[in-house]
Amino acid sequence: MASAGGNCLTRNEWICGRYLTTRSDELQAAVREHVDLTVTSVAIGVALAVPLVLVARRWRPAVGLIGSITSILYTIPSLAFFALLLPISGLSTTTVRIGLVVYTLVILFRGFLAGLDGVPPDVLESARGMGYGPVRMLLTVELPLALPAIVTALRVATVSTIALVTVGATVGHGGLGNLIYDGLGSTFKAEVFTASVLCLALAVVADLLLVLLERLATPWRWRARARRRPGGRRPGGPARAAKTSVTASVPAAASPGAETAAGARP
């Protein structure tokens, strides 16, 4: 192979340091577009999912309705989705963004709803008994307890979106996917390989960032875990004790089918 002479670019090798140095501008631009598309799509998805979930919780028939609509949208292949949006938004990032938002919406809507539904009813009843109104209940009781499930949904949506952005290359805006698409035409191995690896790396970094965010946002879970280890539970006031014991069993709470045996439906 080395007999071909020249550098790794001319030999068309998979891994090529020279590619990184000579095309760093192109790579940076692609990463920037990739991150931009992902962040805006997930952010818009969250902004749409939250009101939808709140409506669905007030008016239950909406769950089936919104669920069915989003599921059907989910079966439309992304490639076709972008093609269908062309007459509306043309070859623009908007086309890609609309498609991505729809896909994140499916994941986020279900995840958020399941998280809020998983809050143990006895905790809600206690809060209600203590005179919590609906807004205060949502913000100080339901949201913190649903946070692990919410973050899980966010992680799934973000990671899937990062992977899906690449298909946007078919309409000219796919971030790193543009490089992959371009490399397909010219069989430029280093370009395809580098872009694919960067894409994976982006997903891993995004996932870790969200895990970190969850840890920062729910300090009591980790405190509770640390506290239990030395043995003996030190109750820190009744409210906190209730909170920690509930959140410690969050995997159960995260699942809608996971009520405690004693738990009655609200």
Partner 1 sequence: MSLVVDGVRWLGDGAHWSGDRGILARLDEHLRYTGASVGIAAALALPVGIWLGHRGRGGALAVTISGALRAVPTFAVLVLLAIGPLGLGDRTTIVALVIFAVAPLVANSYVGVREVDPGAREAARGMGMSGWQVLTRVELPLALPMIMLGVRLAAVQVVATATIASLIGGGGLGRFVADGLVQNDRPQAFGGAILVAVLALVVDGALLGVTRLFTPAGVTTTRRGRGRRGRARPAGRRGTTGTTGTTGEETLGGTGASSSVARLGGAADLAGKPGTGL
Strand, helix or coil for residue 71 = helix
Task: Single out the residue of 43, 47, 84, 139 in contact with partner 1 (rule: CB under 8 A).
Answer: 84
Long-range contacts of residues 178-185, Cβ cutoff 8 Å, at least 24 apart: 178/30, 178/33, 179/26, 179/27, 179/30
Q: Are the beta carbons of 81 and 99 closer than 8 angstroms?
A: yes
Residues 197-256 that bind partner 1 (CB under 8 A): 199-200, 203-204, 207, 250-252, 254-256
Task: Single out the residue of 166, 178, 218, 244 in contact with partner 1 (rule: CB under 8 A).
Answer: 166
Q: How many residues bind partner 1 (CB under 8 A)?
A: 74
Q: Indicate the helix (H) or strand (E) that contains 205.
A: helix 189-217
* Cα–Cα distance, 51 to 154 (Å, whole number): 16
Q: Does 79 bind partner 1 (CB under 8 A)?
A: yes
Strand, helix or coil for residue 18 = helix
Task: Single out the residue of 53, 127, 167, 246 in contact with partner 1 (rule: CB under 8 A).
Answer: 167
Rounded to the nearest whole angstrom, what is the least distance from the CB of residue 131 to partner 1 in the complex?
A: 26
Q: Identify which range of 93-101, 108-116, 128-136, 228-236 contacts partner 1 by CB under 8 A.
A: 108-116
Both tokens of 187, joined, read 């069989």
Task: Single out the residue of 54, 156, 241, 242 in contact with partner 1 (rule: CB under 8 A).
Answer: 156
Q: Are the beta carbons of 83 and 98 closer than 8 angstroms?
A: no
Task: Single out the residue of 4, 15, 43, 80 in contact with partner 1 (rule: CB under 8 A).
Answer: 80
Rounded to the nearest whole angstrom, what is the least distance from the CB of residue 171 to partner 1 in the complex?
A: 8
